[in-house]
Amino acid sequence: MTPRVFPRDFLWGVATSAYQIEGATGEGGRGESIWDRFASTPGAIADGSDGSVACDHYHRWREDLSLMRQLRVQAYRFSIAWTRVMPEGRGAVNATGLDFYDSLVDGLLEAGIRPFATLNHWDLPQRLQDQGGWSERGTAEAFVAYAEAVGMRLGDRVRDWATHNEPWCVATLGHEQGVHAPGRRDPVEALRASHHLLLSHGWAVPVLRRDSPGARVGIALNLVPGYPASPSEADREAARRFDGSFNRWYLDPIFRGSYPPDAVEDRRQAGNLPRGEMPWVEEPDLAAIAAPLDFLGVNYYSRAVLRSERMPEADNAPRSVSEAPPEERTDMGWEVYPDGLHDLLVRVQREYRPPKVYVTECGAAYDTRPGPGRRVADGSRRDFLRGHLLAAHRAIADGVPLSGFFLWTLIDNFEWQHGYTKRFGVVWLDRATQERTLKDSALWYRDVIAANAVDDSAPHVARRLA
């Protein structure tokens, strides 16, 4: 058992998001979000639930803060609900909404926990959706005004900002596959949405820097390394296409100021760009999107394995054909593949050179329930985390400027289209009583933080395909 020690200033955190934990959707002057609307659509959420109560964090945030103190986490990544700050999406600012985050931030600082705020974790105001949402440029303009309102109020104390969380999910799951809010199924709308998300990011960066002097600004992307299922040229081509639409579609504009030409060509061939161009991209947009960042946030859960005949033309979903057996998958069906985190971090560093990287999300859904003494013996989650932390450690040894790790997630919560059926928390939530119970993985994470080290005895088996 060798302890793998992390750099002295490595930051240990947990991550959550507003709609998934806050509840109190009708309180404090909050406006309707696209997730309130989407969750009320019959059949949209697996268990017919919604985020109206969730973890009741809006009322119980002090209790959640004390959970974080028990784990001795050093940083907390949370998101701000646009609908609390600007209930109509633009215009009047709702002071009560800002007060909530103000108290939370003060509470965190008092506890010695560094707040990392994300401005958009998917809960767009419904009023903006009624005007076209992310497929319209006006939403990017509204986002900047929202960023400004938040920055002016919290910018003196929040020093770490992310504009968006996982724009791929908003664009593709929300506008192309229709499985996330706003439930649209139109590939061209999805492309427009991806551009306006990126544009709003680029526009908000200087605004946050102005209103939060000295702050560090970044974005959290869900990146999935794609591996060909075989060395055949066709499978390698499938992996290239996957990578272009999933990873490089976001990384290239942000770090290079251009969309990846091969991925644009793939879209043209798929019939999504009839004249081969993207008329919604205006001349100065790409320079704005490439605003220099202080850090890149990487959200990592699994890899994709690509096979040519299983990759239909117009579908950009990460349809992985991984043959991992059930015991090497989480409850999401996602393959447990820690090496992918290492490969991904090293690759992003080599090709894009972000000045600093955080793993802004990483975690696993396992439905381990409380046993005798209310103990939650979630060894699978602990093994998952250990494997991924060891992979992160190897990435640091290979020169990646990885500065921290935010575990997804503090507490079982509303997992989007899966409702409450998938438990990602290191804290068990009893929804009936709102009682919280630390799982074994939480205690383990606490010890990792205290030691600033992970031991490498994990029995995890890394599967590699040919």
Q: Provide the annotated active-site residues.
A: 166, 361
- The torsion angles phi and psi of 217, rounded to 5 degrees, stand at -120, 140
Instruction: Tell me, by CB under 6 A, how many residues bind ligand FCB.
Output: 12
Rounded distance between C-alpha atoms, residue 114 and residue 116, angstroms: 7
Task: Enumerate residues 259-318 that contact ligand FCB by CB under 6 A.
Answer: 299
Give the whole-angstrom CA distance, residue 213 versus residue 233: 50
Q: Supply the minimum distance, in Å, between the C-beta of residue 355 and ligand FCB.
A: 23
User: Three-state SS string across 21-71, please?
Assistant: HCCCCCCCCCCCEHHHHHHCCCCCCCCCCCCCCCCCHHHHHHHHHHHHHHH
CA dist 263 and 259 (Å) reads 8
Which listed residue (361, 378, 383, 412) binds ligand FCB by CB under 6 A? 361
Would you tell me how many other CB atoms lie within 10 Å of the CB of residue 407?
A: 29
Q: Smallest distance, Å, CB 216 to ligand FCB?
A: 20
State how beta strands 114-120 and 160-165 pair: parallel
- What is the rounded distance in angstroms from the CA atom of residue 415 to the CA atom of residue 148? 29
Segment interacting with ligand FCB (CB under 6 A) among 38-46, 92-100, 164-172, 174-182: 164-172
Radius of gyration of the chain (CA): 21
Residues 195-234 that bind ligand FCB (CB under 6 A): 222
**Nearer to ligand FCB (CB atom), residue 94 or residue 299:** 299
Which of the ranges 125-133, 162-170, 231-239, 428-436 carries the binding residues for ligand FCB, by CB under 6 A?
162-170
Pick the closer one to ligand FCB by CB: 6 or 61: 61
E strand or H helix at 84: helix 82-85
Q: Smallest distance, Å, CB 166 to ligand FCB?
A: 5
Q: Where are the beta strands (DSSP E) in 285-356?
A: 295-299, 304-306
| Per-residue binder mask for ligand FCB (CB under 6 A), 413-432, x = binder | --xx-------x--------
Going from the C-alpha of 226 to that of each of 18, 51, 235, 320, 385, the distances in angstroms are 30, 32, 10, 8, 21
165 is a site residue for ligand FCB (CB under 6 A): yes
Residues 94-133 that bind ligand FCB (CB under 6 A): none
What's the token pair of residue 72? 């001795």
Cβ-based nearer residue to ligand FCB, 219 or 288: 219
Nearer CB in complex with ligand FCB: 143/408: 408
17 is an interface residue for ligand FCB by CB under 6 A: yes
> Tokens at residue 31, please?
């406006």
Class of residue 418 by CB neighbours under 10 A (exposed 0-12, middle 13-18, buried 19+) = middle
Q: State in angstroms the smallest separation of the CB of 79 from ligand FCB.
A: 9
Report the residue number, 98 or 364, with the smaller CB distance to ligand FCB. 364
**Of the listed pieces 163-171, 391-399, 425-433, 434-442, which binds ligand FCB according to CB under 6 A?**
163-171
Side chain identity at residue 255, one-letter code: F
Residue 165 or 247 having the CB closest to ligand FCB: 165
Q: Does 50 bind ligand FCB (CB under 6 A)?
A: no
Q: By CB under 6 A, tell whether 412 contacts ligand FCB.
A: no
Distances (CA, A) of 110 to 69, 107, 213: 11, 5, 21
Q: How far is the CB of 221 from ligand FCB (least distance, A)?
A: 10
Interacting residues with ligand FCB (CB under 6 A): 17, 20, 165-166, 169, 222, 299, 361, 408, 415-416, 424
